[in-house]
A = this chain, B = another copy of it.
Amino acid sequence: MPSALVLLADGTEEMEFTITYDTLVRAGVKTLSAYVPTISFGTRTVSPPVAKGSRGINIMPDSYLEASVCGPDQHDLLVIPGGAIGAATISTNPVVQQLIRDYIKSGKYVGMICAGSLAAKMSDLPRQSLTSHPSVRAELEPEFEYSEEPVVVSGNLVTSRGPGTAFPFALTLVELLCGKEKREEVATPMIFPTGTPW
């Protein structure tokens, strides 16, 4: 059974987090959320029991950012959701930056959506095709081949644009981990309106 780690912080866009996590679970992917702390005193970080999303929904993480449960030896996919403040916290965290490089190096997938794509820059990923929310385009454009596609797959890096592309982003991750048939099996009972382009 494939396994995924979805990061979560105060200010994470809760639709992007929830759509990705829920869709992966529907596909049978063992999915774990890990809280990335906002506040630290020296080596001690303060982890509240819940993360407050960008629009105020309080979500309790399954776990915390600990090497023993977060590494590429544990999961096949690492996901960085958006939300300006959440993505800033996640993408500037050195443990996360190292995790991203380790996942890519181990041949595992890394998904980034919305402002979460800033993590590609912050973790020094090489120049490649990528997309993001338009609000952070200017920060990414000099260092990547910027695309306006809803979902961009570049080797093991999968990027996307915002809450409105979260379903095709999550379904693309399902397809990469579990195959095209599973993607169809998961999408059908969600009842997308006729004409939905994914």
Contact = CB atoms under 8 A, between A and B. Distances in A.
Contact of A197 (B15, B161, B163, B195): B195
A59 B56 contact: no
A163 B22 contact: yes
A150 B193 contact: yes
Nearest to A162: B191
Interface in A158-188: 161-165, 167-168, 187
B25 A15 contact: no
B150 A164 contact: no
A1 to B, nearest CB: 14
- Number of copies of this kind of chain in the complex: 2
A161 B167 CA distance: 16
Nearest to A114: B191
Interface in A39-74: 50, 53-60, 62
A10 interface: no
Given A18-B15, A25-B55, A163 B190 contact: yes
A104 interface: no
A18 B195 CA distance: 24
B60 A50 contact: yes
A26 interface: yes
Interface of A: 13-15, 18-19, 21-23, 25-26, 31, 33, 50, 53-60, 62, 133-135, 150, 161-165, 167-168, 187, 189-198
30 contacts: A14-B18, A15-B15, A15-B18, A15-B19, A15-B22, A15-B23, A18-B18, A18-B57, A19-B19, A21-B57, A22-B54, A25-B55, A25-B56, A50-B50, A50-B60, A58-B59, A60-B60, A133-B191, A134-B191, A162-B191, A163-B167, A163-B191, A164-B190, A164-B196, A165-B192, A193-B198, A194-B197, A195-B195, A196-B196, A196-B197
